[in-house]
Amino acid sequence: MPGPMEGAVAVVIGGASGIGWATAQLLAAGGVIVVIGDIDVEGGRKRAVELGGRAEAVRVDVVDEESVKAIFEGAKAQHGRLDIAVNCAGVNLPGFITDLEAQTWQRTVDICLTGGFFVIKHAARAKTAGGSIVSITSLNARQAAAGFAGYCSAKAGLAMLTEVAALELGDRGIRVNAVSPGLVETPLVEGLTGVPAIQADFTENTPLGRNGLPRDVAEAVFFLASDASSWITGEVLDVNGGAHLRRYPDVMKHIEAMQ
């Protein structure tokens, strides 16, 4: 039986692992042809094999605008259309403001915010009209965390960029939204979930009492990518078990207590 989005074409940036991989799986199951874009192209190729004939992998580095431009232009040229773009690329390089090196700050902003700008820009250029662009922001787009200056600032910027892009692209029927996860069990946060005190603090401050799983976020991305959300744009959707209702754990304090 054909999936609900049979024949659509999606580019999933960061699709080799974590939330991106869970998203690629759901899209492929829905009948979408998936281009997995990742700096880990070998990992992406292995994932594409797992998805069978509905996927391919292309190396992309979100801080390199030409690389981002090429993946979207290539997908459009090969498949004749581009319907969905999902950006899951991100990095958190922590440090207190007074100690933070400029290059560390810049690296975080380049990947999380400027990379998001490149993805939206070139996905929109590759589209004729219609379709969906979805970015992954973070609970830290709205909740400050000591030691996360670069990450919080970049993710907050990405949330606002989502709204601006929705305004600019609405007349072409392109919907631009974002999903804002809390603590999700991905390779990016293994250093947090592996510390019992940090994990306990996150659990205490999450009303639903558990970490998220990549599929929890991917389901929300799938909804925003599909026609089921055809009248939704400029939305930053919290998917965090209610963690935005409480406080963000003091991760750096826990780390310092271990030293």
Q: What distance in Å separates the CA atoms of residue 168 and residue 163, rounded to the nearest whole number?
A: 9
The Cα-based distances of 14 to 105, 134, 244, 246 in angstroms read: 21, 13, 25, 29
Q: Would you state the torsion angle of the CA atoms of residues 59, 60, 66, 70, taken in this order, to the nearest 10 degrees? A: 60
Q: What distance in Å separates the CA atoms of residue 152 and residue 211, rounded to the nearest whole number?
A: 19
Catalytic residues: 151
Helix extents (H) in the chain: 18-29, 41-51, 65-79, 102-109, 115-126, 149-169, 190-193, 196-204, 214-225, 251-258
**Residue 170 in contact with residue 232, Cβ under 8 Å?**
no
Residue 87, Ramachandran bin (φ over 0: left; ψ between -120 and 50: alpha; else beta) = beta
**Residue 206 in contact with residue 239, Cβ under 8 Å?**
no
Q: What distance in Å separates the CA atoms of residue 208 and residue 64, rounded to the nearest whole number?
A: 39
3-class DSSP assignment, residue 36: strand
Q: Shortest CA distance to 57 belongs to which of 73, 70, 41?
A: 41
